[in-house]
Amino acid sequence: MTVKVEVQTFPHFINGKWEPASSQETFDVCNPATGELVAKVAKGTVEDVNRAVAAAREAFDQGDWKNMKPKDRANVLNAISYQIAEHGQELAYLESISSGGTVRRIGGSDILQMVDLFQTMAKFLVDYPFSETLPVPPFPGPAQNFIWREPIGVCAAITPWNYPMVIGCWKIAPALAMGNTVVIKPASYTPLSTLKLAEIISSVVPPGVINVVAGPGAEVGEALVTHPKVDKVAFTGSTEVGRKIMGLAAGTIKNTTLELGGKSPNIILEDADLNIALPGSLFGVFLHSGQFCESGTRLFVPDKIYDEVVAGLVALTSKLKLGNPLDPATDMGPVISKKQKETILSYIEAGVKEGATLACGGKEVMVPGCEEGNFIEPTIFTNVTNDMKIAQEEIFGPVLAVIRYSDLDEAIKMANDTIYGLAAGVWTRDVNKAYEVARKLQAGVVWINDWHMLRNDAPFGGYKQSGIGREMGKHSLDAYTQLKHVHTSMVTELERRPWYGMLFGQN
């Protein structure tokens, strides 16, 4: 199926308006499925970042946004969710033609997830403990003490290309809920849906509350992270760039949330129901061509059922249909870029060199009607050992490493033997056994007999070098506030203030 795409132009979105880049320069956004040019986008500079931060600063410092009653801001969050639902098709289309994600997934689950996220945050907001009153202390006399939670200020959000809208919303929704203002820098492969989303959100929030500057990470991203008027950075991306951002944010002691890479272990136990464990494990690794941070890329399989599992995985994989992501019949789209395709192919070559067995896939694919697309066969390696490069490094492509084990403790040890700790999974009919394994796995989320099942009311984030902090859930609201302790003394007589004696000892 070939779909001709009209080339669109996107300026920045600053202070409630479309704004051209100060340099007048643009960069190209191409469809990874067809290679076609789909949009020209304003290429941001430090000057553009300064304009966006100034707008966000003004909206935070001078505007009413942060002073609105929580129930009124909750109404605005609900209004945003209705806007997203109304524009869902357009948003899904823009994201599909730039990220290569299937419209079946984005138009369905991603849009629903975003709609529900804003509504979930609205619900949390209504009874959020913005102020806690502490008990009156016996000493130093009557006093009233409060702990207030206040917004942080201007929040910079930096997002990756794999599922940019949802990841953007994980930052925007809690930030806005708590009364902050936001400047987002999307990845250069996928700025379109974020820019459109900002326009949609802006129809129900005051100007300057949400702003987008697209452009290169090294210029636009770094300008945000080091900007003295930005109070918080929420970053999702690779561990390598995360390390850099943490260092850069140190210069102005910024509050930082980092959602980074993964190499998630998936353990099948001998008693697992293979009818769900096999398609479930492939769902865990091949959805969006393996370009999810939480993909289950290392599969641990016990000796006893190893051959049966591998044969089943290969048979199911052969049924996956690669194609244009705009076609609802497509199971797997392309990978994001030619460069990423080359990186994945070089990992496949490294796997073969290190002695792993290619059970299926391993090559690039020419999809009819998408001859210039970046397609790679879903690939399964068997006889992998956990020390191999393909078992230790994040490939970010459709590549599964199957690792044999004979003893469960040994499998758990290997599962944890990685710098990452984002997600993990276990498949078994014995729920108590599953909880026992889940306790031992070092990961921010553990799925039992499932994968990718994130919830807007549950936290998501990494152990170890997969990140710092959590997104989604009530906890994500805390991450967009700072605490203030307010002490009010009710002691009116000087002589009942003996603590002054620490200074005025003799008088």
Catalytic residues: 259, 293
| Dist CA 467 CA 46 (whole Å) | 27
Three-class DSSP category at 183: strand
Please report, as residue ranges, which positions from 146 to 205 form the binding site for ligand NAD (by CB under 6 A).
Answer: 158-162, 167, 185, 187-188
The stretch among 30-38, 217-225, 305-313, 450-458 that binds ligand NAD (CB under 6 A) is: 217-225
Q: Which two tokens stand for residue 88?
A: 């869902």
| Dist CA 198 CA 184 (whole Å) | 9
| Least distance from ligand NAD to the Cβ atom of residue 293, Å | 3
**Of 234 and 268, CB closest to ligand NAD:** 234
CB 294 within 8 A of CB 502: no
| Least distance from ligand NAD to the Cβ atom of residue 342, Å | 14
**Of 245 and 267, CB closest to ligand NAD:** 245
Q: How many CB atoms lie within 10 A of CB 248?
A: 17
Binding mask 376-415 for ligand NAD (x = CB under 6 A): ------------------x-x-------------------
Backbone angles phi, psi at 338, to 5 degrees: -60, -40
Bridge partners (DSSP) listed for residue 487: 145
| Least distance from ligand NAD to the Cβ atom of residue 296, Å | 13
**Of 168 and 351, CB closest to ligand NAD:** 168
| Least distance from ligand NAD to the Cβ atom of residue 273, Å | 29
Show Cβ contacts of residue 485 under 8 Å, excluding neighbours closer than 6 positions.
145, 146, 147, 148
**Of 293 and 380, CB closest to ligand NAD:** 293
The stretch among 12-20, 104-112, 171-179, 231-239 that binds ligand NAD (CB under 6 A) is: 231-239
CB 264 within 8 A of CB 423: yes
The stretch among 171-179, 197-205, 235-243, 276-284 that binds ligand NAD (CB under 6 A) is: 235-243
The stretch among 41-49, 50-58, 214-222, 321-329 that binds ligand NAD (CB under 6 A) is: 214-222
Bridge partners (DSSP) listed for residue 267: 300, 426
- By CB under 6 A, name the one of 32, 153, 237, 351 that touches ligand NAD: 237
**Of 296 and 462, CB closest to ligand NAD:** 462
Bridge partners (DSSP) listed for residue 39: 8, 29
Binding status of residue 208 toward ligand NAD by CB under 6 A: no
| Least distance from ligand NAD to the Cβ atom of residue 239, Å | 6
Nearest of 418, 396, 415 to residue 407 by alpha carbon: 415
The stretch among 3-11, 121-129, 254-262, 492-500 that binds ligand NAD (CB under 6 A) is: 254-262
| Dist CA 177 CA 295 (whole Å) | 29
**Of 218 and 250, CB closest to ligand NAD:** 218
Cα 307 to its chain centre, rounded Å, is 35
| Least distance from ligand NAD to the Cβ atom of residue 506, Å | 58
| Least distance from ligand NAD to the Cβ atom of residue 90, Å | 22
- By CB under 6 A, name the one of 217, 296, 373, 421 that touches ligand NAD: 217
Tell me: cis bond preceding 191? Omega within 30 of 0 counts.
no
Q: How many CB atoms lie within 10 A of CB 149?
A: 18
Show Cβ contacts of residue 415 under 8 Å, excluding neighbours closer than 6 positions.
265, 267, 298, 300, 424, 441
Amino acid at 93: Y
Residue in the structure block whose two tokens are 């390696």: 381
111-126 and 88-99 helices, crossing angle to 10°: 120
Binding status of residue 218 toward ligand NAD by CB under 6 A: yes
Give residues in contact with ligand NAD (CB under 6 A). 158-162, 167, 185, 187-188, 217-218, 221-222, 225, 236-238, 241, 244-245, 259-262, 293, 394, 396, 422, 462, 466-467
